[in-house]
């Protein structure tokens, strides 16, 4: 079993590059923490999600479309008429949670030599709402080297906001032989001594 221990603190959003962040729901256990660092919250925007169903009169038309234009991973290509396909379309809407999506029905066509091939498109656009996040930077890290009892006292990926919980974790340090002195010292330096109440977060991941 892998184990990583983190000591992190909130920071401003990066100007360039990627960085780790918490969703606000991850911080709900400590609402005062959110208020304390509200000035660092950043709104993330996401592109709309598109899903399309293409309906062709027959298989030859469908295969020709695939040959000429390819198929997007999330698109569905069907043959038949809208009325007969409606049960399958409704089932797909349910499976993909499209009830709240914006639906647009489109009549389209493409030419292949002298032939014009008509087909229908049902396009679903799901608007992804912006979400607020809190970026963090790492101030302490340890890989493994904890007694098995640690897993009884702490929860995977749970955030801990108290120095008392960090001191409890310190009691479970079980360093490997070559790091018997160094590991406890580094844990105290990187998790305990620089811990800031109301700012620091400790969490394990395994």
CB 58 within 8 A of CB 167: no
What pLDDT sits at residue 71? 84
What pLDDT sits at residue 202? 98
pLDDT in tens, 108-149: 999 999 989 999 999 999 988 899 999 999 999 999 999 999
For residue 3, pLDDT over 70 is answered with: yes
What pLDDT sits at residue 15? 82
* Mean pLDDT for the chain overall: 94
- The closest alpha carbon to 191, from 179, 172, 135, 178, belongs to 172
What pLDDT sits at residue 180? 81
CB 197 within 8 A of CB 163: yes
- The closest alpha carbon to 144, from 194, 78, 205, 89, belongs to 205
- Taking the model in full, what pTM does it have? 0.68
For residue 178, pLDDT over 90 is answered with: no
Beta-carbon contacts of 55 under 8 Å, excluding residues fewer than 6 positions away, are: 78, 79, 80, 81, 82, 85, 119, 120, 121, 122
Distance CA 24, CA 45 (A): 15
For residue 73, pLDDT over 90 is answered with: no
What pLDDT sits at residue 83? 93
What pLDDT sits at residue 193? 97
Q: What is the mean pLDDT of residues 172-200?
A: 93
For residue 203, pLDDT over 70 is answered with: yes
What pLDDT sits at residue 1? 62
pLDDT in tens, 26-62: 999 999 999 999 999 999 988 899 999 999 999 999 9
**Which helix or strand (DSSP H or E) is residue 70 part of?**
none
Centre a 10 Å sphere on the Cβ of residue 62 and count the other Cβ atoms it contains: 19
What pLDDT sits at residue 160? 97
Q: What is the mean pLDDT of residues 14-18?
A: 82
Distance CA 100, CA 126 (A): 7
Q: What is the DSSP letter of 17?
A: S
Sequence ranges of the domains in the chain = 4-44+133-205, 49-126
């Amino acid at each position: 079993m892998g184990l990583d221990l983190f000591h992190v603190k909130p920071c401003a959003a990066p100007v360039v590059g990627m960085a780790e962040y918490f969703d606000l729901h991850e911080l709900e256990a400590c609402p005062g923490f959110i208020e304390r660092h509200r000035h660092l919250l950043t709104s993330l925007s996401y592109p709309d999600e598109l899903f399309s169903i293409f309906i062709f009169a027959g298989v030859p038309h469908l295969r020709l479309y695939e040959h000429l234009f390819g198929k997007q991973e999330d698109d569905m290509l069907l043959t038949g008429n809208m009325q007969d396909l409606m049960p399958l379309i409704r089932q797909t809407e349910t499976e993909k949670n499209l009830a709240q999506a914006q639906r647009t029905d489109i009549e389209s066509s493409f030419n292949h030599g002298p032939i014009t091939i008509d087909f229908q498109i049902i396009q679903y656009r799901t608007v992804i709402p912006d979400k607020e996040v809190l970026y963090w930077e790492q101030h302490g890290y340890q890989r493994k080297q904890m007694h098995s009892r640690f897993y009884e006292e702490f929860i995977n990926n749970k955030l801990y906001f108290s120095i008392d919980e960090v001191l409890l974790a310190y009691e479970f340090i079980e360093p490997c032989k070559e790091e018997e002195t160094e590991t406890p010292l580094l844990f105290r330096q990187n998790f305990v001594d620089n811990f800031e109440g109301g700012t620091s977060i400790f969490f394990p991941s395994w």
